[in-house]
Structure 1
């Protein structure tokens, strides 16, 4: 069984043995002969896959009345994987979603780490720092790097922990966020677990 989570830059595959990525710019999905169960936030790629009968879009098996119309399909499948958690997906944007008793309770979108670092740098070269994920969030900063780090991280941290629920981190910057969410669990296959759960509900393969 081959699963694929398609983003703006890559096809992220998971088979029975390993996960791996292929570039959106260079990979030709028509070269895959076996069935692929996928989700995609990339509209251009989705158009290509619609013409390939062995690529099966799992988003068609989601009951969308549980979500809002413009919610990203990757966020939906992450929510579908869990019953009680705050999910923090740290990618180009940071999405935070709350699921309680298996029901999506809402969420918000926060600038990603790279985007926020560029924002500070665009304000002034004097603010061109990488974030210090080990800065103290219960002490007001006394240097510029920690000042911008605190401004970015404290708001995110405070909102996430306010729900007093297990925290699950995923995405490219999850290891960095683990430094502030010390009790959180990292699950890099969270979306794939959501895909498998939906397939089981739909009696697919």
Structure 2
């Protein structure tokens, strides 16, 4: 079984044993002859795959009425892997989605680490610091690096912890946020797990 999560820059494949990636702007999907079950947030790639019979779009098997219209299919599929919890996908942007007793409660989108660091840098070179994920969020900062870290991380952490639900971390910067949520589950296979559950429910496997 070949699964594929397609983003804006890459095809992320999983064959049940290993992951591998291909660049979205150079990969030719016609080179794969077996069936591929995929989701895609990349509209141009999605249109290209529409004519390939062996590429099956799992979005057609998702009940979108449970979510809001513009919500990304990757976020919806990640939630399909759980019944209760807060899913934090720490990528270029950080998406946070809450599921309680199988019902979508809502979520929010937060700037990713690089984006927020660039924001501070654009304000002033004097604010060009890396975030300290081990900063003490229990007290106000008394130096610029910690003040920036506190300002970025404190409201984010408070909002997530206020839900009193299990926290699941995924995405490229998930390991950094694990420092803030030591009891959270780190799961880089979350979307693929969700895809498998959707396929099973639809009778595709």
> Which whole-Å CA distance do the structure 1 matches of 2:143 and 2:175 have between them?
24
| Counterpart position of 1:82 | 82
| Counterpart position of 2:133 | 133
Superposition RMSD on alpha carbons, in Å? Answer: 0.7
CA positional deviation for 1:104: 1.0
| Counterpart position of 1:121 | 121
Pairs aligned (count): 205
- The 5 Å alignment of 1:191-202 reads 191-202=191-202
| Counterpart position of 2:2 | 2
CA positional deviation for 1:105: 1.0
Q: Does 1:105 align with 2:110?
A: no
- The 5 Å alignment of 1:18-167 reads 18-167=18-167
> Residue 110 of structure 1 aligns to a residue in which SS?
strand
CA positional deviation for 1:17: 1.2
> Which whole-Å CA distance do the structure 2 matches of 1:28 and 1:136 have between them?
48
> Residue 59 of structure 2 aligns to a residue in which SS?
helix
Gaps of 5+ in 1: none
CA positional deviation for 1:47: 1.1
CA positional deviation for 1:139: 1.4
> Which whole-Å CA distance do the structure 2 matches of 1:191 and 1:16 have between them?
13
CA positional deviation for 1:16: 2.2
Gaps of 5+ in 2: none
CA positional deviation for 1:124: 0.4
CA positional deviation for 1:161: 0.1
Deviations 1:71-103 (A, max 9, x none): 000000011110010110001110000001111
> Which whole-Å CA distance do the structure 2 matches of 1:184 and 1:198 have between them?
24
Taking structure 1 as the reference length, what is the TM-score of the superposition? 0.98
Taking structure 2 as the reference length, what is the TM-score of the superposition? 0.98
Deviates more, 1:188-197 or 1:140-149: 140-149
> Which whole-Å CA distance do the structure 2 matches of 1:110 and 1:132 have between them?
17
Deviations 1:91-131 (A, max 9, x none): 11100000011111111111111110100000000001111
> Residue 5 of structure 2 aligns to a residue in which SS?
strand
CA positional deviation for 1:44: 1.1
Deviations 1:144-197 (A, max 9, x none): 111111100111100000001110000000000001111111000000000000
